[in-house]
Structure 1
Amino acid sequence: MADRTDDELAGIVDVFLDHSRHARGLSEQTVRAYANDLGQLVAFASGRGVDRVGGLGLELLRDWLWDADHRGLARSTIARRSSSVRAFTRWASESGVLAVDPGARLRAPKGAAHLPRVVSSDQVRIILDGLAARAATDDPAALRDVAVVELLYAAAIRVSELVGIDVLDLDRERLTVRVLGKGGRERVVPFGVPARDAVETWLERGRPVLAARSDLVDPGALFLGDRGARLGVRGAYRIVARVLQDLPGEGPSGPHTFRHTAATHLLDGGADLRAVQELLGHASLGTTQIYTHVSSARLREVYRTAHPRA
């Protein structure tokens, strides 16, 4: 590859984002995070008189992270920025844009360790009973919402996987659904009878009503938004946030709560860790092992509150 060190840094960042999106098949959420972080880097570098990719050095990257820390940004944000820029400089080095990788020695504080939020089995039942009561009125949005939450919890899938499901991805006889996970990895995951019943009711009585509200309806999409188009990630977040907002407990109130909860309940019930890893679509067993910590934390809490000599 010809020497590109005199190319504009912003332009090389755009090439990297296209590569991440199309060649690597990274999720749009990941690409947006890269774009935000690297956009901040480009602005910072320009303020230091560096507009060409060849001017990107370790000291500049360290100054950028130090500036973020000095301005009080969260450790998790600084750690994410470090990860984004190291992915960029590694790609730039491997593709010949840079002769050396200036980010290889970059270090940032690790984000604070937070255990994922998990709700109890009783709380899941209360949530689903409340949604079912709303759905009994045949309100199409309520029918969709109960099917969304049932499937999130039953299949332990990511929100991006949920909104990407097409009707043809469902096998209602075998109780499985095909989803597209991170890095374009496809897997088939099981779900239970209650989720199947909720989805079938949505398809029969709810989806046709919402589909009639739009000329732009995606004929293949399993879940639709209130205006009839395919349900998006933000729409799914709003659905879950509504059902979790009055629930006791701290932590995030997004769709991942049900994924975390399902994984923890499976391990609590005696499921094999590697089976849970396959269900969740984790590339590394270490990622799945956080749920063993969650189970241990819950056990300790039960002990503290129930044992007379705790």
Structure 2
Amino acid sequence: MAEFEMTVAGRRSVADGVVELVLRARPGEALPGWTAGAHIDLRLDPATVRQYSLCGPADDPSTYRIAVLREETGRGGSRRVHDEVHPGQTVVVGGPRNNFEFEKAPAYLFIAGGIGITPLLPMIEQAGREGADWKLAYGGRSRSTMAYLDELRSRESAPGRVQAVPFDECGLLDLPALIAELPPEALIYCCGPEPLLAAVELATAGLAPGTLHVERFSAREIDAGEDLPFTVELAASGRTLEVPAERSLLDVLLEHGVDVLTSCEEGTCGTCETPVLAGEPDHRDSILTADEQAANDRMLVCVSRCRSARLVLDL
């Protein structure tokens, strides 16, 4: 994936602990296009890359907009963005990439938890532009922590489309009630912390496959099987490598100089998605749907392994 330099053209606070950055292309350059649900990589130094959802207008060819929640107990990337990235600076960006594609439907239910509102903003804009029926249920710790709440209110074409549910005033989102009101043929798009996603998945278990679409900011808990050794064959070169039980597939590939793009290394960003030509992957990612995993034609090599003795990758 190509990387390019951008200038920080603007910065503002959009909620308690949330800063918005407007990144502008260099003079005379047009940015790669993107669709609702996409994210970019922000390279903070040669070894530190973080993914942030694009939350501005998708039809602006000169700027990207992201919003970053400061996470004091995180790995440090968000703290660096808050403390070190300011207007006038040059930053390195990769992408965009979309693992959260927005599908056309007559109606939508958007469910956001905290900073999970960011990938939903362009979807809401597109749904309104296309005349679809939509509703947003937006939960947060308090109103002051809920980014873009006023902006969302201004987008309401009918009263009641935006349901704000700050926990300190209202408690948790009433998911059963939201699902019960779901219009026929509606799709659900949800992004937020893992407890919310798990609750939404449970509440929608009886709906038709493909109704629910989620994006995770952190890896979900996976009941992984035993880590077994396996052989990986690289189809492009014919090389064969051994992956022992105690090492990841990605570690072995990188150790042997195989050119694999990687970023999160926890199966959430999609950077290392690799075509599978033969073998049965042991999928442990948080991106691929059940149908996509069952197809066994691709895998996230940072976390996934192999159930069969031999795996052939298109590398």
Q: TM-score scaled by structure 2? A: 0.22
Greater per-residue strand proportion: 2
